[in-house]
Amino acid sequence: MTLERIAVQCCKSCAHVLNSDSSETQLRCGLGYYIQPPLTRKQGRMDSYPVVEAHERCGRWRDSLKGVLKP
């Protein structure tokens, strides 16, 4: 895995991020929304999704980097 790929593996480039005017970072994690089956998806209130920082990495990113950075 190249350094460029590692650099983009953060919340701001995640497919699950939700843009939100109600958070100080303008971003919220929408993983809970996107893991629901598409036909039954219902969006909750924006404050029910956790606020995330643009360059943060959740467990899904950290787990995918484990083999690269940590033996």
**Sorting pLDDT into bands at 50, 70 and 90, what band is 62?**
low
> Distance (Å, rounded) from C-alpha 36 to C-alpha 29?
14
Total domains in the chain come to: 1
Nearest of 35, 61, 38, 62 to residue 49 by alpha carbon: 35
Note down the domain range covering 36: 3-69
Q: What is the pLDDT of residue 61?
A: 62
Residue range 4-45, pLDDT digits in tens: 555 567 888 888 899 999 889 999 999 999 999 999 999 899
Question: What pTM does this model have?
Answer: 0.69
Q: Is the pLDDT of residue 46 over 50?
A: yes
